[in-house]
Amino acid sequence: MNIPKGHIQDLVFDLGNVLVDVEYSRFTAYMGWDPAKFMRFYATEFFREFETGRRDEAACFREMAHYVPLKEEDIPRYRANIYRTFPLRPRTLALLPALRKKFRLYLFSNTNSLDFNAISRRIRFPDLFDGVYTSHEQGFLKPNPEAYEKIEDLFGLKAETLLYFDDRFENIEAGIRAGWPSLQVKDEETFLKILRDLSEQADTINPVFSTSQNLKY
């Protein structure tokens, strides 16, 4: 894995399978639901609309009940336990405060209010990031090109000075089409090495990290 050449000032992070794991089976087991039926709901166009803020939580629960045995009295239990889907990656998260002293950090996530609020109770995003883009607030999902344009406009990002991390190949491809230096996160161990090397080399190439050495992983 090669870090693209250039001067990096901004690091842009996906959320799921980058900073937290995504394991919906943990949640469905707790709720006693068929995971396949639950994931069929997540694959619907309705859910895409929920993740872009065009449907609210009440509508989401009504639609979900067509796929799993969700009753009105189950909703508080859902809200209280959806966090189980997202085990934290504490080693990765622990590196962010030090990285933020050397780079500006941004979160760029396809998500919805239910999932994101649950994760936000465990991760204080304002303490870790200079800016947060969530699809349900901004209205565009990756890999839609408009999502990449919107986060650039929101935070004044420039393709030539950022480095983007995402686990999904189609999102990485879209980042590359937008001119973003982009790296796919395939496993946490390799990602940890990249982040540590970025941090260490930023110490010697201040105020921005030059990737002219084209590190390989």
In sequence order, what are the beta bridge partners of 7?
210
Which residues touch 94 (CB under 8 Å, ≥6 apart)?
Answer: none
90-144 confidence digits (pLDDT tens) = 999 999 999 999 999 999 999 999 999 999 999 999 999 999 999 999 999 999 9
Q: What local confidence, expressed as pLDDT, does residue 158 receive?
A: 97
* pTM score, whole prediction: 0.91
Outline where the chain has alpha helix (H): 24-31, 35-42, 45-51, 57-64, 75-81, 90-100, 113-120, 125-128, 135-138, 145-155, 169-177, 188-204
Mean pLDDT for 167-192 is 97
Q: What local confidence, expressed as pLDDT, does residue 2 receive?
A: 53
Is pLDDT at 75 greater than 50 in this prediction? yes
Instruction: Report the mean per-residue pLDDT for the chain.
Output: 92
Mean pLDDT for 14-38 is 98
Q: Which of 12-16, 128-132, 211-215 has the lowest mean pLDDT?
A: 211-215
For residue 6, name the pLDDT band (cuts at 50, 70, 90): low
CA distance 122 to 87: 10
CA dihedral 149, 155, 158, 161 (to 10 degrees): -140
Q: What local confidence, expressed as pLDDT, does residue 4 receive?
A: 52
Which residues touch 47 (CB under 8 Å, ≥6 apart)?
Answer: 41, 60, 112
Q: What local confidence, expressed as pLDDT, does residue 27 receive?
A: 98
Is pLDDT at 215 greater than 90 in this prediction? no
Q: What local confidence, expressed as pLDDT, does residue 7 receive?
A: 85
Burial degree of 169 (CB within 10 A; 0-12, 13-18, 19+): exposed
157-170 confidence digits (pLDDT tens) = 999 999 999 999 99
33-50 confidence digits (pLDDT tens) = 999 999 999 999 999 999
Looking at the chain, the number of H-run helices and the number of E-run strands are: 12, 7
Of the candidate CATH numbers 3.90.25.10, 3.90.79.10, 3.40.50.1000, 1.20.210.10, the domain formed by 7-21+88-210 belongs to 3.40.50.1000
Domain boundaries defined on the chain:
7-21+88-210, 24-85
CA distance 114 to 82: 8
b (16+ CB within 10 A) / e for 39-62: eebeeeebbbbbbbbebeeeebbe
Of the CA atoms within 13 Å of residue 52, those in its CB half-sphere come to 14
For residue 3, name the pLDDT band (cuts at 50, 70, 90): low
Task: Check: CB of residue 93 under 8 Å from CB of residue 87.
Answer: no
More confident residue, 203 or 186: 186
Which residues touch 15 (CB under 8 Å, ≥6 apart)?
Answer: 107, 109, 111, 119
75-to-12, 136, 157, 198, 212 alpha-carbon distances in Å? 33, 20, 39, 43, 52
| Percent with pLDDT over 90 in the chain | 88
Is pLDDT at 32 greater than 50 in this prediction? yes
